[in-house]
Structure 1
Amino acid sequence: MAAAMESGELSEVCYPQDNTSCRAPKQPPGQAMVIYFLLSSISLITTALNLFVIFTISYFRQLHTPTNLLLLSLSVSDLLVGVFLMPVEIIYIEVCWLLGDVACTLYYVADYIITSASVANMVLISVDRYMAICKPLSYLYYITNKTVHVVVSLSWLCSMAYRLLLLHDHLRKPGRSNSCIGECVVVISKMAGIVDLVFTFVLPILVILVLYVNVFVAAMTQVRRMHSHVDAIQSLRMVKKRELKAARTLGIVVAVFLICFCPYYSPTVAGKETLVDAATAAFEIWLTHFNSCLNPIIYALFYPWFRKCIKLIVTLQIFKPGSRDAKII
């Protein structure tokens, strides 16, 4: 009996031969099955939907616009969440971290880089809508596909440099936050958390809000002006209506993003260290990741061109000659 109890105790730790081993995370079998099914489904849906968005914008030439290229960059970051981040989090819920401290640190560095790139994409999308509605002539001259390619590349590079700088202590000494072997934890200090809060959350929110307030004020002003010249600028009104609808849809994307990321930053706002691991911060981590699943759903609900692309792809019309030049918008 004593031997059985000893064997049972050993089976509860990650590395039975090591005295500093963590205890293996345990969930009731039924609950674990539900969690695995639900989170795996979210991961698969996130991957499939974002692959669809990437393929759609890349395939149809009419969708090669600056705004859609920004959506493409956002979908790439969302795809990386579904393919790379979510599966690791699913495994770590029930299993000890067996890949070592270096892989643990690199995983969280990648997580933070993808998150920062998503935030940068949100800001760029807001700038794009501001320029399109408030400064239409400058938009046509300055905001080109080539410009967007350069800016998006720079945003990814800056996100990478920023995160490597912020997490340099963890890169220099992987596993420094782990309390036992078999754990994968990153603890962000109060100072680093404040810097992260300001540059990844507060400042982007302020920029986005200021730009969108200007967008809607300018849009309402233009609508009032257009009512006095109905016949002369009917076509202009249609263009502005489309731009305003795009701004509203992207505003919803930004609002959902903020809702999903608020819980993660709550410890920093409360003046505490941010402890990130799959066990203690499961809800916060998965809420931020779930945002990557919601974005393409928002596109499907509010973008007519996205629904039209779905129809063309599902009905296999994309295999017809000249389908890339189909009129989507």
Structure 2
Amino acid sequence: MEVEDGAELCFPQLLNTSCRKPTTSWPETILITIVLYFISVFTAALNLLVIIAVSHFRQLHTPTNILLLSLAVSDFLVGLLVIPGELVLKTSCWLFGDIACTLCGYTCFIIVSSSVGDMVLISVDRYVAICDPLHYTTRITVRRVKLCVCLCWLCAALYWFHFIKDDLIQPGRYNSCHGECVTVIVIKHFSGPIDLVISFIAPITVVIVLYMRVFVVAVSQARAMRSHITAVTLQLSENQKKKKSELKAARTLGVLVIVFLICFCPYFCVALAGDNLANSLFVSAVECLFYCNSCLNPLIYALSYSWFRKAVKLIVSLQILQPGSCETNIL
């Protein structure tokens, strides 16, 4: 490998096999660092609040909130692990070894796949709640949801393991020089339409179809509620209140799904395009949008759920450390 005069090397002692350090200008490097660092910190902090809230308060231990908890865990890991790793790759050399590179890529794709799986589960939850409310409490239980969440993470781990098993035996085989981090996962995923269909297109199609059905039924139920708004019996009033709560949850989670699609679809479209768009400014913008999704989810909760705002106040004021705080009426 020939090196241009004056080029800084990642490993100067390996003159003929070392990669060159990124040649981005200082202003561009500083901008990338600030943006990704800001997204990383806020993503980790906001999703940590969601994790603490749902885990601590027993009133929040509902099937829907368990799904939001799983989504918050994956978003938290994006802020804690994925974005800092991406920051290292964009602004400096990879100095942590080939095995660490493979494991980081593996972890990243598990997190992304689990997020997609969580969206499918959230859509199924809302579909049953809105379209078949009489059987919701018997079909969608906390135990079943926890089992589905565990299976979602396990399937993501097993699916991507078959990509890295050979790479673990011969780590760094796709690297052209020392200081580079390229994994077999990235190569196969970004050039394999079949994998893209399995890991994204098929699940997202399910999400869209289910939510279209939810939207149609929700609109009809909202009209029915307005036509019976003058009903006077207590039982009917309670039923309407419950329906209104379910419809609000459907709208909120619908916004969550729409934001998810807006942030994820461009990223996977770039993946489908392969190397044709490599190193373009458009790819960098798409990646930032992709990472922003993990930061936006808690903000959607804050704008939509009063229980989340109340929980944040209790967490920030450290009132959750008081005995019996987990029994607080948070709803």
Same fold (TM over 0.5): yes
Q: Match for residue 43 of structure 1?
A: 40
Task: Measure how far apart 1:318 and its partner are.
Answer: 2.9
1:43 aligned counterpart, secondary structure: helix
Q: Match for residue 309 of structure 1?
A: 311
Measure, in 2, the Cα distance between the counterparts of 1:113 and 1:88: 15
Q: Match for residue 232 of structure 2?
A: 231
**2:156 counterpart (155, 159, 164):** 159
> Structure 1 residue 222 and structure 2 residue 221: aligned?
yes
Q: Which amino acid aligns with 1:253?
A: L
Measure, in 2, the Cα distance between the counterparts of 1:237 and 1:36: 50
Return closer, same or farther for 1:285/1:105 CA change in 2, 3 Å cut-off.
farther
**2:11 counterpart (15, 22, 34):** 15
User: Contact 2:116–2:204 at 8 Å: present in 1 too?
Assistant: no
**C-alpha RMSD of matched pairs (Å):** 2.7
Return closer, same or farther for 1:236/1:81 CA change in 2, 3 Å cut-off.
same
Measure, in 1, the Cα distance between the counterparts of 2:105 and 2:146: 27
Q: TM-score, length-normalised on structure 1?
A: 0.88
Return closer, same or farther for 1:190/1:184 CA change in 2, 3 Å cut-off.
closer
**Percentage identity across aligned positions?**
51
How far does the alpha carbon of each residue in 1:145-204 deviate from its partner, in whole angstroms, 9 at most, with x for none? 111111110110001111112444544433233222211123424796212321222111
Q: Match for residue 290 of structure 1?
A: 292
User: Contact 1:70–1:148 at 8 Å: present in 2 too?
Assistant: yes
Unaligned regions of 5+ residues in structure 2, if any? none
Task: Measure how far apart 1:243 and its partner are.
Answer: 1.0
1:188 aligned counterpart, secondary structure: helix
> Larger deviation: 164-173 or 88-97?
164-173
How far does the alpha carbon of each residue in 1:268-319 deviate from its partner, in whole angstroms, 9 at most, with x for none? 544x358989999544443322211111111111112111212233344434
> Structure 1 residue 106 and structure 2 residue 106: aligned?
no
How far does the alpha carbon of each residue in 1:78-120 deviate from its partner, in whole angstroms, 9 at most, with x for none? 1111111111222222211112222111111110011001100
1:80 aligned counterpart, secondary structure: helix
How far does the alpha carbon of each residue in 1:200-257 deviate from its partner, in whole angstroms, 9 at most, with x for none? 2211121111111111222222233334543341211111111111111111111111
Measure, in 2, the Cα distance between the counterparts of 1:213 and 1:262: 18
> Structure 1 residue 92 and structure 2 residue 89: aligned?
yes
Unaligned regions of 5+ residues in structure 1, if any? 1-6
> Structure 1 residue 244 and structure 2 residue 247: aligned?
yes
- Count of aligned residue pairs for this structure pair: 322
State how 1:168-179 maps to structure 2 within 5 Å.
168-179=165-176
Q: Which amino acid aligns with 1:203?
A: A
State how 1:189-200 maps to structure 2 within 5 Å.
189=188, 193-200=192-199
